[in-house]
Amino acid sequence: MQSDARGKTIRGTLIHTPVLGEVSVLDDALVTVGNDGNIKQVTGKGSPSWNPIFQKAEQDGNLRHLGNGQYLLPGLVDLHVHAPQWPQLGKALHLPLNDWLRKYTFPLEAKYEDLDFARCSYRSLVDNLLANGTTTAAYFGTIHVEATKLLADIVHEKGQRAVIGKVAMDNADQCPDFYRDASTTAGLDGSRTFIDYVSALGNDMDRRVFAAVTPRFIPSCTDQLLAELGKMAAEYDCHVQTHCSESDWEHAYVLERHGMKDTDSLDRFGLLTDKTILAHSILIDDDDMTTIRQRQSGIAHCPLSNLYFSHAVFPARKALDAGLKVGLGTDISGGPSPSIFHNCQQAINVSRALEDGVDPCRAATARGTPDSRINFREAFWMATTGGAKVLGLKTGRFESGYVFDAMVVDTGAPDSNLVCWEEMDTPEDILQKIVNNADRHNITNVWVQGNLVK
């Protein structure tokens, strides 16, 4: 089905998770996509309007069918990507966070002053994420305004939906001379220039790229920069993305410098809004959860990265039960996989490890934290509906008025590890198998706003 979906009706089985913990399956349904790329109508087989819609679409030549073993799923949302770190994916994961930043990551990010290098790297990254079904991504760029504009151009040209920020980091105590904003003013001016640039990309009817103020994390920013970025976020009503209580070192640093936790400090600078994406948030306590929920900020749970750099497990079950907005992030390249499916699997795995415990020297009853597990339903919800809620975007599910960001998952694709048995597997079983075993080989088509992007 190698064509745009705008103005078309797609016939097939839909699987999505609009409600946390529930799988919704529409067998042999019709999805009617408007010429604007938004979903006009979703019609189940039992509906009286199914036949008239089917016949009209067929007569007009606008009907498209999914093949045997193919399922229509919402596109995936990746809430935390460091775009410039793409070339080091999978490398240097043996180091602690601070060494990883200083020896590998900052020198790599500094290279993006070279726009030819930036173009090559960013094109490769965006192509890869689209191939993995990531229709929406939240990207940290670098401190360079021109290279981050180029990232926005590439995302725009390739048709992905994205939130992008020029990274702000001006603290000479924590950032190397070769890689930090030249001054607080330069960091602020660059952030403003970038936001203005993104605002001019595309019109409001078909807006897919959004700007974010992006203080890297508290250690790398002066208080003045944090305060001014908070004001800028309010002035533009734009997204905010940063890291929150990621690791023991970072958490302790903020406690020592500010005498308070990350959540409280970000809040006093106006950086906790209903458009804020907080990466990790591993070491948040009950009071932090209350604050984050009251501000309607969201969390990017990055389970693969956390095992390498946080040395702890985010309590996803507890956060979801507390009503927080939570989605998933790859944290490229703190996490070694660009696949949100891999991060779904890991989110399930680490929640089970948290619940059961991992130290065999302890008695089973003293080993874990009860009621911590999530399952494939919640993982897929975070990867789609949950991520969309964090960003405040109408994507992640099939519903009238939502954008048509979707993918075809072919369970019978060659060279894949998916094993589906139509006579024995219900569609819910198939979603579980997809979440646990699908990869880019199974993703045969991807659309963003009804435009074919893979």
Q: Which is nearer to Zn ion, 262 or 405 (CB)?
A: 262
Nearest CB to Zn ion, comparing residues 68 and 94: 94
Closer residue to Zn ion, CB minimum distance, 279 or 328: 279
195 or 279, CB closer to Zn ion? 279
Helix (H) or strand (E) holding 184: helix 184-199
Q: How far is the CB of 79 from Zn ion (least distance, A)?
A: 10
Q: In terms of CB distance, is 101 or 233 closer to Zn ion?
A: 101
Strands 209-215 and 161-165: parallel
Q: What is the CA radius of gyration of the chain?
A: 22
Task: Specify the residue, 122 or 309, whose C-beta has the smaller distance to Zn ion.
Answer: 309
Least gap, CB of 334 to Zn ion (angstroms): 5
User: Of all helices (H) and strands (E), which one includes residue 192?
Assistant: helix 184-199
Min CB(105)–Zn ion separation in Å: 10
| Smallest gap from residue 401 Cβ to Zn ion (A) | 32
Nearest to 283 by CA among 257, 260, 261: 261
* CA gap 86, 336 in Å, rounded: 10
Q: How far is the CB of 247 from Zn ion (least distance, A)?
A: 11
H or E segment and range at residue 81:
strand 76-82
User: Based on CB atoms, which residue is closest to Zn ion, 78 or 405?
Assistant: 78
Q: Which residue number, 337 or 451, has a Cβ lying nearer to Zn ion?
A: 337
CB of 324: closest distance to Zn ion in angstroms?
19
- Pattern 270-289, Zn ion, x by CB under 5 A: ---------x----------
How near is the Cβ of 434 to Zn ion at its closest, in Å?
27
Query: In the complex, what is the shortest distance from the CB of residue 241 to Zn ion, in angstroms, rounded to a whole number?
Result: 9
Residues in a beta bridge with 211? 164
* Integer Cα distance of 274 and 239 in angstroms: 8
In the complex, minimum distance from the CB of residue 216 to Zn ion, in angstroms, rounded to a whole number: 8
Whose Cβ is closer to Zn ion: residue 71's or residue 100's?
100
Spacing of C-alpha 88 from chain mean position? 19
Q: Pattern of binders to Zn ion over 182-221, x per CB under 5 A? A: ----------------------------------------
Residue with smaller CB distance to Zn ion, 53 or 282: 282
In the complex with Zn ion, which residue's Cβ is closer, 140 or 194?
140
Least distance between Zn ion and beta carbon 225 (Å) = 18
Joined together, the tokens standing for residue 105 give 């990551």
**Which x/- pattern over 319-358 shows residues binding Zn ion (rule: CB under 5 A)?**
------------x---------------------------
Task: Give the whole-angstrom CA distance, residue 155 versus residue 1.
Answer: 23
Give the DSSP letter of residue 205: G
Burial class, 355, CB count within 10 angstroms (exposed 0-12 / middle 13-18 / buried 19+): middle
Nearest in space to 284 (alpha carbons), one of 300, 262, 311, 260 = 262
The distance of closest approach from Cβ of residue 46 to Zn ion in the complex, given in angstroms and rounded to an integer, is 46
- List residues binding Zn ion (CB under 5 A): 279, 331
